[in-house]
Amino acid sequence: PASDILHQLAEYKHFGVITFQAEDEIAAIGAAIGASFGGALGVTGSSGPGIALKQEGIGLAVMTELPVVVIDVQRGGPSTGLPTKTEQADLLQAIHGRNGECPVPVIAACTPSDCFQAAIEAFAIATKYMTPVLLLSDGYLANGSEPWRLPEFEQLPKIEITHATQPNDAAGFMPYRRNAELVRPWAIPGTPGLEHRIGGLEKQDITGGVSYDPANHEHMVRTRAAKVAGIKPIGEDLILTGPNRGKVLVIGWGGTFGAIKAATLRMQEDGEQVSACHIRYMNPLPARLGELMRRFERVMVAELNCGQLAMILRARYLVDAKVLSKVRGQPFTIEELVRAIRQVIQGEEPTLSTVAEENTLSGG
């Protein structure tokens, strides 16, 4: 379901957009990294299997600290799986799918129009923090639509890009001398006086030379992690529907936004103290998320996988999150969510109807 991105971008040659369909996924991520090394905005996209192939390249972008945006339009898996059906099973792959300590920011769009906004935020974060960014969509969003007013160009968030133009040290250019946000400078190859080397081998802090020093390696690993952990959201990191305290908080992410919001509003109309929290920034997670969850008696996570976000929330916040999971290649229905929320209110585990029950209800 990611193919439409290339098809659409190919129409914008008159805006200086250069596109090509690489021979494989590894070549595509390599080309995007090369474009970023040359000072351009590099972007590549695929679905789950292709992202798996790109992971080594994403790790290279983390090590070299170059701004690349990688779009994952999730589909049913594993392997070829359900290539025309939706799923949200790539969250753990997006956050943890590379070798080594290799953190990257992850943003998840929640509506078709939010895909536009989230892409701007992904590029803004990538260029501001010199890091690859994973942007998650899914088949439901990719094949969906909604009324959307084209924004005025002047009203769009500015993506500030600063390239180094002169040495930053008396001894010459230091490619890993960082600013207050732990971001290294972005120097375009060929700029006089800014000659430097980058690559997949660990770098000496500040100078950028190859280093096998144990203390330096730990310092660089923790520095890269701290940079990502300190990223401040460009847009909304979470969307809250309802009061910030109550009986049940329904947490979702990605393309489940519409169904969860509709189900939550229906429960509120019935007088239930239910709110919904939709997370857009999956890594780092919103700073207020932990406190928000503690204000509710119960938490339910609804996602189109076997509980990947719930596992993250349990590990980080020690919250007893109930899980409503669905992996049928279909989005949630409002009725499924309302039923599950009522179960959680009553202290039960949330469940989906079985396939046999659905066949009976539909007359099959």
Last residue of a domain, one of 186, 218, 235: 235
Per-residue confidence (pLDDT) for residue 199, from 0 to 100: 94
Number of domains in the chain: 2
Angle between helices 257-269 and 334-345 (to 10 degrees): 50
Say if residue 187 is in the same domain as residue 246.
no
Say if residue 248 is in the same domain as residue 169.
no
Say if residue 60 is in the same domain as residue 199.
yes
Say if residue 22 is in the same domain as residue 153.
yes
Whether the Cβ atoms of residue 306 and residue 325 lie closer than 8 Å to each other: yes
Residue 361 has pLDDT above 80, yes or no: no
Residue 65 belongs to a domain with what CATH number? Answer: 3.40.50.970
What does pTM read for this prediction? 0.94
Cis peptide, bond prior to residue 105, ω within 30 of zero:
no
Per-residue confidence (pLDDT) for residue 356, from 0 to 100: 54
Mean pLDDT for the stretch of residues 150-161: 87
Say if residue 46 is in the same domain as residue 167.
yes
Say if residue 242 is in the same domain as residue 217.
no
Residue 249 has pLDDT above 70, yes or no: yes
Band of residue 317 on the pLDDT scale cut at 50, 70, 90: very high
Say if residue 103 is in the same domain as residue 202.
yes
Band of residue 111 on the pLDDT scale cut at 50, 70, 90: very high
Q: Which of 112, 108, 137 is closest to 282 using CA atoms?
A: 108
**Looking at the chain, which runs of residues are DSSP E strands?**
42-46, 68-74, 106-108, 133-138, 238-241, 246-253, 274-279, 281-283, 296-303, 321-325
Residue 266 belongs to a domain with what CATH number? Answer: 3.40.50.920
Per-residue confidence (pLDDT) for residue 82, from 0 to 100: 95
Number of H helices, E strands in the chain: 12, 10
Per-residue confidence (pLDDT) for residue 363, from 0 to 100: 56
Per-residue confidence (pLDDT) for residue 353, from 0 to 100: 78
Say if residue 79 is in the same domain as residue 180.
yes
Host domain of residue 221: 1-235
Say if residue 97 is in the same domain as residue 181.
yes
Residue 71 has pLDDT above 60, yes or no: yes
Q: What angle do CA 245, 249, 255 make, to 5 degrees?
A: 135
Cis peptide, bond prior to residue 78, ω within 30 of zero:
yes
Q: Which of 69, 46, 182, 71 is closest to 126 using CA atoms?
A: 69
Per-residue confidence (pLDDT) for residue 292, from 0 to 100: 98
Residue 75 has pLDDT above 80, yes or no: yes
Per-residue confidence (pLDDT) for residue 155, from 0 to 100: 85
Work out the burial of residue 148: count CB atoms within 10 Å of its CB; fewer than 13 is exposed, 13-18 middle, 19 or more buried. Answer: exposed
Q: Rounded CA gap, 305 and 228, in Å?
A: 25
Last residue of a domain, one of 235, 266, 282: 235
Mean pLDDT for the stretch of residues 116-137: 97
Say if residue 309 is in the same domain as residue 339.
yes
Q: Rounded CA gap, 238 and 278, in Å?
A: 5
Mean pLDDT for the stretch of residues 185-201: 95
Say if residue 302 is in the same domain as residue 319.
yes
Band of residue 33 on the pLDDT scale cut at 50, 70, 90: very high
Q: Rounded CA gap, 285 and 294, in Å?
A: 15
Last residue of a domain, one of 177, 200, 235: 235
Band of residue 69 on the pLDDT scale cut at 50, 70, 90: very high
Residue 228 has pLDDT above 60, yes or no: yes
Please list, in sequence order, all residues whose beta carbon lies within 8 angstroms of the beta carbon of residue 176, skipping any fewer than 6 positions away.
65, 184, 203, 204, 205, 206, 207, 208
Say if residue 141 is in the same domain as residue 30.
yes
Work out the burial of residue 350: count CB atoms within 10 Å of its CB; fewer than 13 is exposed, 13-18 middle, 19 or more buried. Answer: buried
What rounded mean pLDDT belongs to the chain? 95
